[in-house]
A and B are shown apart, each in its own frame.
Chain A
Amino acid sequence: MMARAALSLSSIPGGDDITRVELANGIVVLVRENPNSLSVTLRGYLPAGSLFDPDDKLGLADFVADALMRGTAKRQFQAIYDSLESIGASFGFSAGTHTAGFGGKSLAEDLPLLLDILNEGLRAPLFPTDQVEKLRAQLLTGLALRTQDTRDMASLYFDQLVYRQHPYARAEDGYPETIGAITIDDLRGFHRKTYGPRGMLVAVVGGINAFTAVEQVRAALEDWTNPDQPALPELPDWEALPARAYKRHDIPGKSQSDLIVGTAGPPRLSPDFMAASLGNNILGRFGLMGRVGDSVREKAGLAYYAYSSLAGGSGPGAWEVAAGVNPANEQKAIDLIFQELQRFTDDLVSEEELNDSKSNYIGSMPLSLESNGGVADALMNIERYQLGLDFYRQYPSLVQAVTREEIRAAAAKHLPVNKLAVSVAGPPRAEA
């Protein structure tokens, strides 16, 4: 209809516009300026995730991260949030399996405040008793709601079926009895032992000057040390399921069942990850949720949602298909999903499907990098997996290189249909 600027790689972050600095204590700082932006996004992580949780204190890493802003040597809980909320800023900590993460945003001139809050939370949390107990009540309420959530419960049991003895079987947010068992000494001990600068990343993106931002991070954090900071525990190998596994969990009074079919997928750095990722797009994402969406939702009308996902990540995160269905249609939906998985692992995807997914991946990249947050996430990916600063500029050629045969090989290797787990949570059958 009219000529418009074609996409150019200049808007994609790369080695010439990402500033990467390693501080003396090991903290890596990545900064990208966005002169069009009035605000700044600060994100990052350090290796203090739930892999460090003792079995009887599951949820400890999560509890610690949540408690870091409940009072520090410099400010009480209300003063911390008053300083943030007064200027329309946000900031928070959370914990995952491998890392504890942090993130927030503010108007660009308020970056020093975000760094102050980060610094205080990391280095001087007090874990005051009254605040810890408030937080405990909130965590326990979250767990009570989880027991009533069909999606959450299907996912919890799916992880147990797939990962068994592997640490990924454990719930990062714990259980009521483990959250109840955590003491203030546990919180302090976990923080003292695992929090430190080694393996930490700070990403800053927005309407700031890169040099100034690096110096601000340096001033806040370069003198932090923790000589006893341990390396992340080694992940044991994951062993494939010997056969298909099934679990159904009843939650009385519910209207819909949620189900998950799948198993462990390739880690982000596995050589076949890109093939698996493009394959997953064909299986359960492209268009209105790929082949699975087409079969379960569009053709059979069985579900409001049906899609697949591939976690990637540092370890063998899940590769799974999920759907929400009327309880009477559970088995029908599971059968359709297995049909699609069988086809996906046996047959080559079509040339057209592969080309479609490739152009989807390449074309959608600028959209995912539109916001400061999107760029910050990209910077974290680059560092976490050592992808190289030009990764997003090379991305189109990496995508183009994947073949149909590689996708089938990745599917057959990671999604053996006779060794998958099926987890369902929904109303008891008599109620449905």
Chain B
Amino acid sequence: MDVLKTTLSNGLNVLLKEIHTTPIISHWLWVRVGSRDEPTGLTGASHWVEHMQFKGTPLFPAGRLDKDISRDGGFWNAMTYIDWTAYFSTMPADKIDLPMRLEADRLVHSNFDPQEVAAERTVIISERQGNENNPMFLLDQDVQSAAFEKHPYKHEVIGDMADLQSMSREDLYNHYKRFYIPNNAVLAMAGDFDSQLMLDSVRQLYEAIPAGPAPARVAAEEPAPQEERRVVTRGPGETIFVKAAYRSVRATHPDFSALTVADSLLAGPSNLNMFSGGISNKTSRLYRHLVDRDLAVAVSGGLQATIDPFLYDITIVVHPERKADEGIAALDEEIARLQDKAPKAEELARAVKQAQALFAYGSESITNQAFWLGFAEIFDRYAWFETYLARLAAVTPQDVQRVAQTYLRAERRVLGVYQPDGRPAGDDA
């Protein structure tokens, strides 16, 4: 089905896609702000602002919003990532007016009540402490920090604890005012509506909001990595994790598709659906070389579509009777195999078939379709998604070999190991 795409006079990008299979509408407002826009001292500001967006405006006081959405049978939430912050609501089609009015209102009128900011500080610190309970968060944090020198991608989205303790209400409010402007946002909706009528509604709600000055970006050009970096994270537990994070390419780079296929061959197909499950990876090269040979109990890969070059990572959960170095040696053997010999055409055809199936699953959820509309717009254009399968199908075996040679080199990676200190857990009551 066609997508209605337009830009309002204040710069707001609007994408509307009619889907009439079920009486549901999903509404997404994307703001081009994430941890890549945070200078040192303000890490975590974008995520904290996202929390504050649920704390009310003069028109929609705190506490009422959730109840109004729930009462209408909808669900809503928000998420902050390195490049973006997104707010979504999925509602019965005849109840979409409320979240539409609310999103337009809180784009510019959020209260940032000082008491609410103070209460949310402890909530976010608690969220971070919950993350810290997880060994993979601790390892990710160290790997990401070692992977970038200048670029804010070096920080976790949730922010550094010191910044969460010191950031002020004014810091957060200024961050909000700078980035939450219509010319820095994307409105994407999919579902059971008439696009022209819906566009009229969108204009009524948004067109009066004035554009703001284009926000200055702190994201700096990151120098090319020169040598392999190694980090060891120590913490409680018995299980060893390895994370190899290679400097990747931005989503718009011509090599992104070939890297996607390389990931699929090495670690199984990545799932681009936020609201639909993926498939197993037990026939992937790394699974066969590491798990089938008892060096690891699990392996996975992750390639993200990002504005600036981020990381392609491979995570290994090391077998309880093996060492990290054995897993790393096996990983290197498989990467060398892909670099030394182009894969067979059948392997590529299989990767494309898998991607097609994942697309079919993802298209069944209206929420997921609306997610795709806006997500691609953040780092490129929706056409990125529409041509995704065709671009994968155009990748050749030689392309895959070349990107393995180009990007999966040791000097482009950080090798992180979570080394458990083996402290036993015990009872005291």
Question: Contact residues of A with B, CB < 8 Å?
Answer: 1-2, 4-8, 11, 36-39, 77-78, 81-82, 84-90, 92, 105-107, 134, 137-138, 140-141, 144-145, 147-150, 153, 246-256, 286-288, 294, 297-305, 324-326, 356, 359-367, 370-372, 428-429
| Chain A: CB-nearest residue to B277 | A90
Residues of A within 8 A of B75 (CB): 364, 367
Q: Give the CA-CA distance A305 to B128 in the complex, in Å.
A: 12
Q: Give the CA-CA distance A91 to B297 in the complex, in Å.
A: 19
| Chain A: CB-nearest residue to B293 | A134
Chain B CB within 10 Å — which of A87, A149, A304 has the most?
Answer: A304
The answer to whether A364 and B73 touch (CB under 8 A), given A11-B23, A249-B427, is: yes
| Chain A: CB-nearest residue to B355 | A88
Q: Give the CA-CA distance A359 to B94 in the complex, in Å.
A: 14
Instruction: Report which of A39, A148, A250, A297 forms a contact with B237, defined as CB distance below 8 A.
Output: A148
The answer to whether A363 and B92 touch (CB under 8 A), given A5-B192, A145-B237, A301-B120, is: yes
Contact present for A302 and B236 (CB under 8 Å): no
Chain A CB within 10 Å — which of B70, B193, B278 has the most?
Answer: B70
Query: What distance in Å separates the Cβ of A42 from its nearest Cβ neighbour in chain B?
Result: 13
Q: Give the CA-CA distance A304 to B67 in the complex, in Å.
A: 19
20 contacts between A and B (CB under 8 A): A6-B94, A39-B364, A81-B283, A88-B279, A88-B356, A89-B357, A90-B279, A105-B361, A107-B357, A137-B320, A140-B320, A148-B239, A153-B425, A255-B130, A298-B62, A304-B123, A326-B129, A366-B23, A367-B73, A371-B365
B358 within 8 A of A: yes
Q: Give the CA-CA distance A78 to B285 in the complex, in Å.
A: 12
Residues of B within 8 A of A255 (CB): 128-130, 132-133
Q: Give the CA-CA distance A150 to B353 in the complex, in Å.
A: 40
Contact present for A367 and B24 (CB under 8 Å): yes
| Chain A: CB-nearest residue to B322 | A137
Residues of B within 8 A of A300 (CB): 119
Q: Give the CA-CA distance A4 to B192 in the complex, in Å.
A: 8
Instruction: Report which of A106, A303, A360, A363 forms a contact with B357, defined as CB distance below 8 A.
Output: A106
Query: What distance in Å separates the Cβ of B39 from its nearest Cβ neighbour in chain A?
Result: 25
Contact present for B426 and A250 (CB under 8 Å): yes
B411 within 8 A of A: no
| Chain B: CB-nearest residue to A92 | B280
Residues of B within 8 A of A370 (CB): 22, 24, 364-366
Q: Give the CA-CA distance A37 to B366 in the complex, in Å.
A: 12
Contact present for A302 and B122 (CB under 8 Å): yes
Residues of A within 8 A of B23 (CB): 4-8, 11, 366
Instruction: Report which of A148, A304, A326 forms a contact with B425, defined as CB distance below 8 A.
Output: A148
Instruction: Report which of A2, A144, A246, A288 forms a contact with B197, defined as CB distance below 8 A.
Output: A2
Contact present for A256 and B123 (CB under 8 Å): no
Residues of B within 8 A of A254 (CB): 132-133, 236
B66 within 8 A of A: yes
B2 within 8 A of A: no
Residues of B within 8 A of A363 (CB): 71-74, 92, 95
Contact present for A371 and B364 (CB under 8 Å): yes
Q: Which 3 A-B pairs have the closest CB atoms?
A: A363-B73, A88-B357, A287-B66
Contact present for B425 and A39 (CB under 8 Å): no
Given contacts A105-B277, A141-B298, A429-B428, 14 further A-B pairs with CB under 8 A are A1-B204, A7-B94, A78-B282, A87-B354, A137-B319, A248-B427, A249-B427, A256-B129, A286-B70, A287-B63, A298-B119, A356-B70, A360-B72, A364-B73
Query: What distance in Å separates the Cβ of A247 from its nearest Cβ neighbour in chain B?
Result: 6
User: Per DSSP, are chain A's interface residues mostly helix, strand or loop, or mixed?
Assistant: mixed
The B128-176 residues at the A interface (CB cut-off 8 A) are 128-130, 132-133, 135
B40 within 8 A of A: no
| Chain A: CB-nearest residue to B425 | A251
Question: Contact residues of B with A, CB < 8 Å?
Answer: 21-24, 54, 62-63, 66-67, 69-75, 90, 92-97, 100, 118-130, 132-133, 135, 192-194, 197-198, 200-201, 204, 235-239, 268-269, 276-283, 288, 291-292, 294, 297-298, 317, 319-321, 350, 353-358, 360-361, 363-366, 421, 423, 425-429
Q: Give the CA-CA distance A71 to B75 in the complex, in Å.
A: 42
Residues of A within 8 A of B428 (CB): 248, 250, 428-429
Residues of B within 8 A of A359 (CB): 71-73
Contact present for A297 and B123 (CB under 8 Å): yes
Q: Give the CA-CA distance A316 to B195 in the complex, in Å.
A: 49
| Chain B: CB-nearest residue to A141 | B297
| Chain B: CB-nearest residue to A369 | B22
Query: What distance in Å separates the Cβ of B9 from its nearest Cβ neighbour in chain A?
Result: 20
Contact present for A325 and B236 (CB under 8 Å): no
Residues of A within 8 A of B235 (CB): 253
Contact present for B73 and A4 (CB under 8 Å): no
Residues of B within 8 A of A92 (CB): 280
| Chain B: CB-nearest residue to A133 | B294
Q: Give the CA-CA distance A429 to B429 in the complex, in Å.
A: 12
Q: Give the CA-CA distance A372 to B364 in the complex, in Å.
A: 8
Instruction: Report which of A4, A134, A148, A287 forms a contact with B70, defined as CB distance below 8 A.
Output: A287
Contact present for B279 and A89 (CB under 8 Å): yes
Query: What distance in Å separates the Cβ of B145 from its nearest Cβ neighbour in chain A?
Result: 18
Contact present for A301 and B425 (CB under 8 Å): no
Instruction: Report which of A144, A302, A366 forms a contact with B320, defined as CB distance below 8 A.
Output: A144
Contact present for A301 and B123 (CB under 8 Å): yes
Residues of A within 8 A of B350 (CB): 85-86
Q: Give the CA-CA distance A150 to B134 in the complex, in Å.
A: 9
Residues of A within 8 A of B133 (CB): 149-150, 254-256
Query: What distance in Å separates the Cβ of B72 from its nearest Cβ neighbour in chain A?
Result: 5
Contact present for A85 and B281 (CB under 8 Å): yes
Q: Give the CA-CA distance A255 to B128 in the complex, in Å.
A: 9
Residues of B within 8 A of A361 (CB): 73
Query: What distance in Å separates the Cβ of B181 from its nearest Cβ neighbour in chain A?
Result: 24
